[in-house]
Structure 1
């Protein structure tokens, strides 16, 4: 005879908060100025603002921009993309200096990385990606393939899981130029085996371009030690850098000497102020730059990267795992009986910083939840994503949100 698992109680959640070594970091965030919000569980789409960001922006406007004006570029603004890139690399990405730089949006960085990787594999004719990769990634791959006369080989991936190393092994071959995948799947939060996939692609002579949008700030990436080639990611999710904050691109050091990216600009030139008639790329990762850095946006990235460095990515990952584990336990007890399905990996090592639950009426339920102060997001066709940001989300907040979700969903499903 089996005993039903014990449902975590509010007291259990409070105990987890009491013992949480990261609990004090919640005070670093600005309070939510909306009394109707029970819980903010969408930090995997947009992180909450940091007090430090407000301080940095105020200093930028009142002390730097207003007093030094254009001289601010010589005072350090020009070096921000590389300086913050190195901080982000050492803090979250497992990347040594000179390989990460802040530039543009994620979409533009991904376009640059894909075209740069293709330039290193002339004569190869295929790009491998998966059918459930994030839409922008798929759209860019298809567009680049049309431009360059290439073929897209698509791995059919399970939206409730993700791409496996075995699937990649079956898809790559002597014609493969690039494999491009998300490290953490945007629907299910499945964590791909970065090391194994890199090794399989390299054995076929291909390069790998990783999307780290749902990785950075939540799951350690270990880009150098896994032999990764290129990676891109945003900073406005788990790094809390603010809406539209600049993205980053990683280029492995060994690829940089032959690097050619498709959007040359004066910031990526060897001598920015020579205004030379012909473009000559800067050495190193700075060649990935095009236009003028978004200094105001980089203030938020600075605050987020510094906070993560203080907290430590391994401690963040440990709390993320505990939060998602609690969420799954509560969903099993409270939501599965109402017709929900947990559509994320149950094994801790395979699960990123959010979970997805599916339901035939998910879109309707998601709207009701948001209207009633449980801020989550809906992903077609039937997924509700519960995003758990370890530095700003408490266990008690999560428990209260899912308790309220149970009540509201019960009314819908009655």
Structure 2
């Protein structure tokens, strides 16, 4: 039996990097056991999910096997339900509904985030979320199915509704989904002569004044231009007020008949972090710059689950991005090792290196090192960044991009169904624990 055990909750960007850096930081003769608790056996590279939904790349490209990538780390497959700080124990439920308990000497909370739901009637029941492979695959199936059902009917009102797609949220994910959407539906519709004169509508809604409000105004305008050039109806200052099976009512009063509502409003910290009874800020565990939880020297937190002080912006906390999560995870691993070996803990300080947004085709927007880029140069930077940032599957991903550019994409239904496998509400007690879905009890 190992004399020391480190339990890491979550295998996303923060948890994955924590485990990897901890492996490197521990002495070769260490008998420390590292246990990673995660609902799936893979690390998910979230930024490329829109390309999975648009059938540009295979879903296996965005998933990296945790046992293969982290040899020496024990994977505990399941969803954490309870954290007992007094007993130094974590309780989790495996995919088959069985409960397990793990005691720890060091705990790292890297549970990540889940869909952010707003109290809007009908959204939880009728909208499609976008936080995992099951959701992306379901959305791909759903879009194809709507186009094919539209081609099979002579009812023009039904055809119009099935050929209308509404995306809510003009942040990174929503903008990428809306930009990829018209390219995808055009490919599908071109295979159906019945839809030759049919208009296919894509709407992007957000209460923000502009697309990608976090980016440089030049990049926001560039993205807006690309969207409009593809026929996307960009509706800033508007959002959904009510959703039904037949359509949505907008704040502006307009009723849009649709069978497709894609929810990309944002994320919130996984509720499990609040259940631990620790002090939180906006749902994120309060930590010191060293990522240690105050009053609990054996507990660390990082990524979306942690309110990490941003030393580059005094008085603020780091934003919920993959960039911060990855770098905080690396530091968390080193600091956990230091706490076990008597070393000095380092503080987290990272200047934002910029962002990339893939807009499909040869279009993208990026600001590497604060240099705003748009169009093809941004596309090169964007794809280069993803290939460097991905912890695996780089060659396969590059091959998929090449095949998409040369011979086009595959677009067939896989026969996926909606419930309960791809719920929007990832904190619904009525949902079972399914790999890939964080369903809390």
- Determine which structure has the larger strand proportion and give its number: 2
If the length of structure 2 is used for normalisation, what is the TM-score? 0.28
The answer to which structure has the higher helix fraction is 1
